[in-house]
Structure 1
Amino acid sequence: MKITVEATVAAPVEDVWRAWTTPADIKRWNAASDDWHTTSATVDLRIGGTFSSRMEAKDGSIGFDFAGTYTRIVEHELIEYSLGDGRVVLVEFAAGGNGVTVRETFDDEPTHSVEQQRQGWQAILSNFARHVEAGR
């Protein structure tokens, strides 16, 4: 099943793209709640290049790596990547009059409910929007 989340970011597409693809920025916005954070991030933004983010609970009780390989990139428009388990994620950047709508569409996974997955990914995307808008 495909799940989609989106947010509109009141910023130029260049700023949105840069914040999405820069490790220092990713470490600042990539968390679903205040008790989590991203401790490291790498990005090799090219087809066949890889990315990874280490996400951890701030109390050190749990953590995981989120990593994949870029399969399609159109600057300022879309990024597609595959995860290690074969799931595919498409991130679209659509510039408009109110800013940039960022839409993520991804394959669900069997461990968490669809609603949990949607809520988690939406929370991270909302943090992203706040991060970009705060930097303006």
Structure 2
Amino acid sequence: MKITVEKLVRAPGEKVWLAYTTPEDIVQWNAASDDWHTTRSNVDLRVGGAFSSRMEAKDGSFGFDFAGTYTQVIPKQLLEYSFGDRSAKVEFIETPDGVNVRVTFDAEETHSLEQQQQGWQAILDNFARHVEGKGK
């Protein structure tokens, strides 16, 4: 089953793309809640290139690596990647008001569909706040 989350980011396309694909930005926005953070991120932004982010609870009680391989990269338009036996697609859709970022991903079986949707939406909401809060 596929799950889709999306968010309008009120910023220019180049700024949105760079914030989504630059490790220095990713560590600032990639968390589903205030008690989690991303401690490091690596991006090899090309088809066949690998990416990874280390996500940890701020209290040190738990952490995991989110990693995968890019399967399609169209700058400022589309990212597709595989992670484990799952895949995801990130669309960057230009609108008069900014960029609508739409993420569609394969659900997993450990957490409920609602939990997964809420978690990925929270990360996307953090992303929008980060981009919109950055200077021009």
TM-score range relative to shorter protein: over 0.9
**TM-score (ref. length: structure 2):** 0.98
Instruction: Give the letter for the 2:56 counterpart.
Output: E
Note the C-alpha offset of 1:56: 0.2
Note the C-alpha offset of 1:98: 0.8
Alignment of 1:52-91 (within 5 A): 52-84=52-84, 86-91=85-90
Note the C-alpha offset of 1:44: 0.1
Instruction: Indicate the SS of the match to 1:71.
Output: strand
**TM-score (ref. length: structure 1):** 0.98
Number of aligned positions between the proteins: 135
Residue ranges of structure 1 left out of the alignment (5+ in a row): none
Note the C-alpha offset of 1:20: 0.3
- Cα distance in 2 for partners of 1:13, 1:123 equals 21
Aligned to 2:129: 130
Alignment of 1:22-37 (within 5 A): 22-37=22-37
Instruction: Give the letter for the 1:53 counterpart.
Output: S
The CA RMSD measured in Å over matched residues stands at 0.5
**Percent identity of paired positions between Structure 1 and Structure 2:** 68
- Runs (4+) of structure 1 exceeding 4 A deviation are none
- Cα distance in 1 for partners of 2:22, 2:72 equals 17
Residue ranges of structure 2 left out of the alignment (5+ in a row): none
- Cα distance in 1 for partners of 2:121, 2:27 equals 17
